Amino acid sequence: MKIGFIGIGSIGLPIARRLRAAGHQLVVFDTNAQALRDFVKEGGSAAANPREVANEVEIIFYSLPTPQIVREVTLGNDGVVHGSKARVIVDLSTTGPTAAIDIGRGAAARGKQLFDAPVSGGVAGVVAGTVAIMASGPKAVFTEIKPLLEAIGKVFFVGTEVGQGHAMKLLNNILSATAIAATTEAVALGVKAGLDPTVMIDVLNASSGQNTATKDKYPRSILNRTFNYGFRTDLLLKDVRLCKAFADELGVKLRVGEAVIGTWELAEPEFAHADYTNLVKVLEREAGVTIGKEQ
C-alpha cells in the first residue's frame, strides 16, 4: 500500500521504517529537510508539505510533538484537509482528547476521518515492534487500518470515538511520569542512607515496588548515567499538563498528579530539551547524593 507519513523524528522515523519494512511505499513530510533527505535515501519519497502528501495517498500517519502542530498540519493553509486524495488521518501523537475532537471535527467538515492511535513504549519499543497502540475511532476505519497498526506494535481498540485513544494515552503517561519521580525520590533516600542503588533496583523489581521506571528506565538509562532513554522533558511535561487539563474539564481532582507535575517542572529550566531521565539529576542534587555511576 502507498501511505503517507508526516513527522519523521525520534519516534516517527522508526515507525516509518517499520511500515516500509512491512512492504508499504511511504510518501513523507517533515520540516527537517535533512531528515527528509535521509529517509528518501532509505527508499521513501518526499513531499513539499502536508497538502502534497494528501494529494498522493488515502491514508496518512502523523507522529508530531504537540497538539498545535497536529492542528496546523491538518487544518492549516497547506494542511492535509486541502489534499485531494486523503481519506483517513491516523494520529500516533499524544494530542489529547480535547484537541483531537476539535481537529477531528475540522477534518470531518472536509471529508477526512481522524483516527486516534497514540503509541507508548519509547524508541526501543518501536524498533522492537512492542509498543502499545491505543486505537479509537469508527470501527470500519479500525478494520481497514488494523494491519498497518499491527506492523508497528500491539494494538488495543479502546473505543469508537475520536479522543478516547488520546485519553488513554494521557492516563498512561501520568502514571509513567509518577513512576520515575516516585522511584527517584525513594532511591535517592536509600542512597542517602547508604544503600547501593543497583541492589535497590534489583530488590524493587522482585518486590511490590516494581514499576516501569525500576524495570526499564533505571537499568537502561539511569544507573549507568547515560540519561539517553529517548524522550524529551518538555514533551513529557506537555503530556502531563494535558492530562491535568483533561481532568479539570471532567471535574476530577488529581492530587498525586499535581504533585508529580510540580516535580517534573523542577527539571524544566535546565533540561526542557534534554532527555527526561535527567529529572534524576535534579532530585539527587536536592538530596545531596549521586545515583549510579558511569560505565
Residue 29: phi, psi to the nearest 5? -145, 140
Cβ pair 41, 35 in contact under 8 A: no
Cβ pair 89, 70 in contact under 8 A: no
Say whether 253 is catalytic. Answer: no
Dihedral sign for Cα atoms in the order 82, 46, 135, 276: negative
> Residue 185: its pLDDT value, please?
98
Residues 199, 223: Cα–Cα separation, whole Å: 11
> Residue 99: its pLDDT value, please?
97
DSSP secondary structure string for all residues of 81-109: GG-SS--EEEE-S---HHHHHHHHHHHHT
Tell me which amino acid residue 169 is: K
Residue 49: in which H helix or E strand, if any?
none
β partners of residue 285? none
- Burial bucket for residue 251 (CB in 10 Å: 0-12, 13-18, 19+): exposed
> Residue 147: its pLDDT value, please?
98
> Residue 70: its pLDDT value, please?
98
Identify the active-site residue in 112, 154, 169, 217.
Answer: 169
Topology match between the domains 2-162 and 167-287? no
Domains of the chain by residue range: 2-162, 167-287
Q: What's the Cα-to-Cα distance from 67 to each of 63, 103, 274, rounded to whole Å?
A: 11, 9, 20
DSSP secondary structure string for all residues of 197-265: HHHHHHHHHTSTT--HIIIIIIIIIITTS---SS-BHHHHHHHHHHHHHHHHHHT---HHHHHHHHHHH
Model confidence, pTM: 0.94
The mean pLDDT values, 10 residues at a time, for the chain of 295 residues are 96 96 97 94 94 98 97 98 98 97 98 98 92 98 98 98 98 98 98 98 98 97 96 96 98 98 98 98 97 85
> Residue 69: its pLDDT value, please?
98
Class of the domain covering 167-287: mainly alpha
Q: Is 2-162 in CATH node 3.40.50.720?
A: yes
